[in-house]
Every structure is written in C-alpha cells, then in structure tokens.
Amino acid sequence: MNRSQIADKLKGQIGQFSGKLSEGLPKVAGRFVEEMLYGILCRQSVRVSEIGRALNQRIRLIKTVNRLCRQLGRCGLEERVTENLMEQAAPRIEKDTLLIVDPSDLSKKYAKKMEYVATSCSMPYRERIIREEGSREKVYNIQVGFRALRLPGREERLAMVVVKGLGREPPMILTNVQVVKSRKSLMFVVLSYFRRWQIEETIRFAKQAYDIEDIRLRRYDRLQNMIAIVSAAVYFVAVWLGERLKLGILAHHALQAAKRIFGVPDFRYYALADGVEAFLAGSEAPFRGGKAQPRADPQLMLPI
C-alpha cells in the first residue's frame, strides 16, 4: 500500500470506530466525536485550536474552536463514549484475564497502630528478576511472602503479598487470587503485579503522545468528555487498528520507528501514534464543513 492508500484506510477506520463510540448519541454529537478523534490523532494534541486546524474547515478557525468547545460541554457525552468503549473492549476480557487496579496510596506517616492492620509478614522466598529499562537491563533481588486476611464487613478471604527489594517501600499486593505457601503461587501474583509497569507505560504513552497535560479546558464536564475521547484515541491506535494496517504504518514510518529503539523504551505505540499523525497530516481532512469564504478577485478594478 502507498501513503495515500494507508491514509484513506486510516480515515475509514476512524469513521467506523467513531460510529461504534457514538451509538446512542444524536447525529451532531456523533459527528463531533469523529472530528475530535480525527483531530487528536492527526495533531497529537488535545488543544481544541490544534484539533480545529486539523479539520481545516472553510470557515474562520475561531468559529470551529467555539463549536467544538460548545460540544465538549454536552451532558452525558463522557458516560456514553466510555460505555461504548468498554463494550468494544469487553470481548477481550477472558476468564483468566487479570484486572489490575492501581490506586493512590494512603500514607499515615505517624500512625504506630491502626485497626485491622497486620504488623508482620514472613518472607520465605527469594527470587531474581530482570527488567529492561531503555537499552539496559536492571537486576532486582527480591524477597516474597504473604499473609491471609479479611476486610471489615466482608467474608471474602484475601491475601496480602509483600515484595521486598524493589525500592525503599515494599509493594503490598492485595488480591483475591487463591494464594498458598509455595514459590509458584506467590510468584504468579508477583509477576502479574509487574504487568502494572505496562499499565504505567500505557498511561505515559497517552500523556506524551497526545500531550494531555497541555489540556486547556476550564470546566470539569468538558475535561471529562475530552479525556473520554483521548482514551478512545489510545484504544484506536493500540487495539482497533488491524495488524496489517499497523505493519503498513510502521513500514512507511520505519525511520522514526527505528529512532525510538535508541531513544525511549521499545514501546511501539509511540511509533504507531507518530505514523498515524504523519499520514493524516499529509492528507485532506474527510470533513470540511462550513460555507466557503469568498475569495478576493485578483483582477485589479479601476474606477471609470
């Protein structure tokens, strides 16, 4: 496939994907979701002005920006887009798929005793693990142990798995996975926890590839709607695009993809996002609404 064919296929995939995201929304809102998704992917930015430039409509940019901002305040948009996105992802969740929650810590710096908190945990097992950090490997010598527990008001049996050797504060993993006193059982939980690093890389990718921290919206409802659409853009690049199209993008964007190997960790979503941006930026937007502004007649007019 040549560049124009890949660009056309990308636009078609964006239209198909946005249609799935927009189920249950009015037609105007559905078009808005498609425009936002296209603009974010094309400009790799969440600035409404940059998204408006990507649309390249035949009206003044400020008019496009104002329209997009009004639509970002649409009530119920975030709930509908998020629900439709989860429906798309749900078939990928299988019986043995791990659902990992990474909440913030609650630090009680000066608390010596707290209700329902265990004070000790034996660490009978030692392991060595290797993590790739950029182009280097880092070795961790860890100790692993666990303690059975129950939460107040719940009869469910849980386990708190503790890992020493990963930093100053040992990670403590609360799980409902059945844990027994064996190396294999504990390391299954620990290695599953390490997938959290992949989650962190995905969040970092979303922030860096689409410059989320540069978001410029004052109202919380608009911020919620924007984040829902950015999440959809990440899903589109990481999951929705078929492998054949991904390979085509990477092949045509090989130079930038190769530079990634020596720059940032080998996380191909960065190269894919850059490739999608390059193809869309080099082609015409699929929708260019608005009335064409009259052009000035180049013919010199002289009064007679």
> Low-confidence residues of the chain, pLDDT below 70?
1, 100-120, 131-135, 243-244, 247, 250-268, 287-304
pLDDT at 123: 82
Q: What is the pTM of this model?
A: 0.64
pLDDT in the model for residue 134: 58
Backbone angles phi, psi at 199, to 5 degrees: -65, -45
* Closest to 68 (Cα-Cα) out of 41, 42, 45, 35: 35
CA distance linking residue 290 with residue 299, whole number of Å = 26
The enclosing H or E element of 64 equals helix 61-72
Q: What pLDDT is stored for residue 290 in this prediction?
A: 52
Neighbours of 234 (CB within 10 A): 21
